[in-house]
Structure 1
Amino acid sequence: MTEHVDIAIVGGGPVGAALAAALAGGDYRVAVLEARSRLAAQDPRAIALSQGARLILERLGAWSDLADQATAIESIHVSQRGGFGRAELLAAELGVPALGYVTRYGDLYAALAGQLQQSGAMLLTGAQVSAIRSTSAYGVVEFQRDGIDHLLSADLVVLADGGKSLPGRQAVKDYGQTAVICTVTTAQPHRQRAYERFTPEGPMALLPLGEAYALVWTVPNAKAEAVLALTDAAFLARLHERFGERQGRFLTASGRAAFPLRMITSEPAQAPRLLRIGNAAQTLHPVAGQGFNLGLRDAWHLAQLIWDADKAMLGSAEFCARYQARRAPDVRGGMAMTDLMVELFSNDHFVLRHGRGLGLALMDALPPLKKAFARKMMFGAQAW
């Protein structure tokens, strides 16, 4: 069975759904291919959304379905264990309602999946993609659905599935770290304050979520299994030792899960008609919570480029090059920043420890520097 559309989006996850929603109401015929049989997410992670991401979600119509499940971050406390210096970012000082928001991945996906289903795109669930290729005239997606082989051609094929469907060369940096995640409660209420705590073993983040905190605790790979195997009491005691007294005692912890941490850069598709966005293009370390926000900006800016382009140019080599050039400063800047933060802070080097402390103290004392850093976190490269 063969069909042709203007735009084929491979992957109906949050980033693919956001792109489809951003294209709603246009005269492009859009198809979304999703491997799962239904649009649901079984993922225990919490997601940090920047203020810029909220603005995009509002424009997509998804924020109204998500707002009640999202917890605002009104301040962020940044510090390092075993060294002086700290910085505090305040939404009130920056003139924004919040620095960001924390929500559960499942709630975020439900809101975006709802917009996908209302977008008018042709949604093909249970589509198992087997091959993707391009010609000068169109891209081709081969997939199987309900036991039947299908061929879908499109002027533009967008890969938003984490890179599963079109293997290519990747630059992989393994940090040798694992993120242990769970939800914890503390003796003191969070008052919409988030913490980014740097330790020699890796960063630790506490993100306000409802009445509790979503914890992202980075540990060396060799210690991850031992941390997961701790009893709740031992886990909370170890966490208190690493984090300190700022929230009082840690009272409870939910079930824990773990994810290896790597930075992955996929080479852009070396052909017209094909583009990668979100985790299909780049995967970041979770420090500073930039990964999904960067992917959402990928989807939003690609949609704007599609809206502005002459339809005859859609998917051409010129069109693809224009997208890559537009996104390069934001993507490269975001990846370089998170990588630098991990490398500078995940050690106990005497000189670096004091340099980090001086840098944090300097940022806290200089409002223009603090504002520039915070706006980069909230809005990406366009904030500079």
Structure 2
Amino acid sequence: MIGFATKRRRRLDLRGAALGLVLGMGLTVACPSIASAQQICAADLNNNGDAADEGEQASCLATTSGAWLCPIQQVDCVADAVGQYSCPVGAQYACVVKSTGGPPACSPNQCADLATNPIVEEPPMDDPGTEPNGAIDADGNCLGQIEIFSGRGMRCRPPGLSTTFSNCCKDKGKIVKDGMGSSIGSIGTKIAVAKGVFTGMKAAYVAFKAGATASEAASAGAHALIVGLDPTSLAVSLAINFMMEFLFAGCDSQDMEAAMLRSSGMCHEIGSYCTSSFLGLCLQKARGNCCFNTKLGRIIQEQGRPQLKAFNGNLWGTAKKPMCRGFTPEEFQALDFSKIDLSEYYADIEARAQSDIRQDMGERVNAYLKAVNP
């Protein structure tokens, strides 16, 4: 059982030498030197097959003998009648004295050197989706492959090492609504919502990394998100609060993008996979998703794919490599819509209609008041 610990930080780059120490994990850990920060350990305490949960990684402690002691499951050694110490969890584990003093202690978990056993990191998914503006002929006919209700593969990360144990998949309520943007006027190849969310989240993340406050970064992200889109399709205040919370939590731009679309009901989760591992032990997981430009697109994809032979045996790909393509025109025509339950979407439309009316009335009243009281 081996693993890793890192500093709890608000900033988002936790790779390389910046990994350091994890603090506040329920462990009593002395503040080590830079050298000791490279000796790390981990254990699968809850027997779920990984060491990605809080308290399952730690920085090893220096000892007077030059060895290292893992603080996870550390216990004091027991002395016999002649003063010889032994480890109560197993005679094979050495009793050592910490450099900070105290009685001899031991741990069943072994330490490893980060310098010689580097952490393996998986980069975020890179799925641009289907290009919605392909070449056309003189008559306006699309020359490429038309995809209906196409999506993009994205990941978000639950609490773990790389996210400083914050939940970057957290559901924060519906922020993006179906029909966002005038560019989505047809059932065709558009994925403008997903790309619009990507633009906004990237702008917020870049601004935050450049030194902007979370509030400034979130405002920049919201501005980039609503440019060219119908502002009534976006809960701007919720989007700003969402970005501020996720930036402070240590989430990256794809975490935020996926979480916002997931919260809005536009993603199908495929499963989990490991994004950060050390000597074969997983330290950080991610949830792979196919995210679509509308909630309606997600519903039809989920219920339509099982009807088509082209998807038999491989409905969604894998969590690490999602298959998020849209339907071809022939596949779409072959769908039996009598077997597709759209009640979730109808309920959403009815609820949204009332809220949109109230929002529109409020905006009109505010605009009037500003006009008559400049």
Same fold (TM over 0.5): no
Question: What is the TM-score with the length of structure 1 in the denominator?
Answer: 0.24
For the pair shown, which has the larger CA radius of gyration, 1 or 2?
Answer: 2
Higher strand residue share: 1
Q: Name the structure, 1 or 2, with higher relative contact order (CA <8 Å, separation 6+).
A: 1
